[in-house]
């Protein structure tokens, strides 16, 4: 089973600042089968990035995914109030798919 | 648009069986893989297993002995049964649809989730 470790645990930023979220895998993720989800309180996770860097339809272009192999990054340029949420990375290259423990993005 | 809705008891006694159903609307259930995922404070997001419309299943190894996922294509729903539950099975349970093709373990659509508490 691939273990995903996200850092930092919490990111405290002001609106307009840049958020950089990290996801490190315990082994290489093939074909960049790495997704990022956004979860707001009381809601289900929402897919924002697939294949490490492909933005899902409807997701603003301030969200950018990058990385390959074992190291992946989600960047939110110019943080907006509606971006406040917990973000999870997930590998989906094989069973069982696993999730990171999440990074909480909060307003400073 | 694709919508999934979980239903089932919110309280289950220890050692009993947790049963949930996910109703699918806005899409054919005769395609894609359909998964159950749970979320608890202690274990975060945890994939439980999936089913394909043919009835083919795959379960998380650590839960395999207690999990059964089934599908009823005529009723457009799929179900989860988790036996011999303990407090550790207390979680919000989500149903989700897998992505297209090889992306079937990426979850493109989710239900809103239902909290199941295991307590006597």
Residue in the structure block whose two tokens are 């299943």: B57
- The C-alpha of B112 sits at a distance from chain A's nearest C-alpha, in angstroms, of 5
Task: Judge contact between A92 and A81, C-beta under 8 A.
Answer: no
Task: Judge contact between B105 and B1, C-beta under 8 A.
Answer: no
Instruction: Give the span between the Cα atoms of B46 and B48, in whole angstroms.
Output: 6
- Residue B74's pLDDT is 95
Q: Binning pLDDT at 50, 70 and 90, where does residue A19 land?
A: very high
- Residue A77's pLDDT is 93
- Residue A108's pLDDT is 84
- Residue A107's pLDDT is 86
Average confidence (pLDDT) per 10 residues, chain B, 120 residues: 96 98 95 96 92 95 97 96 97 96 94 97
Q: Is B16 on the interface with A (CB under 8 A)?
A: no
Instruction: Give the span between the Cα atoms of B102 and B105, in whole angstroms.
Output: 8
Which residues are CB-neighbours of B116 under 8 A, at least 6 positions away? B8, B9, B10, B11, B12, B18, B20, B89, B90, B91, B92, B93
**Subunit contact B110:A44, Cβ cutoff 8 A:** yes
- For the cut 90, the answer to whether the pLDDT of residue A31 exceeds it is no
Q: Is A92 on the interface with B (CB under 8 A)?
A: yes
- Residue B101's pLDDT is 87
Which residues are CB-neighbours of B9 under 8 A, at least 6 positions away? B18, B19, B116
Task: Note the pLDDT tens digit of each residue in A41-83.
Answer: 999 999 999 999 999 999 999 999 999 999 999 999 999 999 9
Question: Residues 16-45, chain A: which have Cβ within 8 Å of B?
Answer: 31, 33, 35, 37, 43-45
User: Is A28 exposed, middle or buried (CB count within 10 Å of its CB: 0-12, 13-18, 19+)?
Assistant: exposed
Closest CA to B86 of B8, B17, B6: B17
- Residue A18's pLDDT is 96
- For the cut 90, the answer to whether the pLDDT of residue A100 exceeds it is yes
**Subunit contact A96:B45, Cβ cutoff 8 A:** no
Contact list in A for residue B110 (CB cut-off 8 A) is 44-46
- The C-alpha of A23 sits at a distance from chain B's nearest C-alpha, in angstroms, of 15
Instruction: Give the span between the Cα atoms of B53 and B70, in whole angstroms.
Output: 9
Residue in the structure block whose two tokens are 């990426």: B106
Question: Can you read off the two tokens belonging to residue B58?
Answer: 């795959």
Q: How many CB pairs under 8 A join A and B?
A: 57
């Amino acid at each position: 089973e691939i273990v995903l470790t996200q850092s930092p645990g919490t990111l405290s930023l002001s609106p307009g600042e840049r958020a950089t979220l990290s996801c490190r895998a315990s082994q290489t993720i093939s074909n960049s089968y790495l997704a990022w989800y956004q979860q707001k309180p009381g809601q289900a996770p929402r897919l924002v990035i697939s294949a490490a860097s492909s933005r899902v339809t409807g997701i603003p272009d301030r969200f950018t995914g990058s990385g390959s192999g074992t190291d992946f990054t989600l960047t939110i340029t110019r943080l907006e109030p509606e971006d406040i949420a917990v973000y999870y990375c997930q590998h989906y290259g094989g069973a069982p798919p696993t999730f990171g423990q999440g990074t909480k993005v909060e307003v400073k | 648009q694709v919508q999934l809705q979980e239903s089932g008891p919110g309280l289950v006694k220890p050692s009993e069986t947790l049963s949930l159903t996910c109703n699918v609307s806005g899409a054919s259930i005769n395609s894609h893989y359909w998964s159950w995922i749970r979320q608890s404070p202690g274990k975060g997001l945890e994939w439980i297993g999936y089913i394909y419309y043919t009835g083919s299943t795959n379960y998380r190894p650590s839960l395999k002995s207690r999990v059964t996922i089934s599908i009823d294509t005529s009723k457009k729903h799929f179900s989860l049964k988790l036996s011999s539950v303990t407090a550790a099975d207390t979680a919000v349970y989500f149903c989700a649809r897998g992505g297209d093709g090889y992306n079937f373990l990426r979850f493109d659509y989710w239900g809103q989730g239902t909290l199941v508490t295991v307590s006597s």
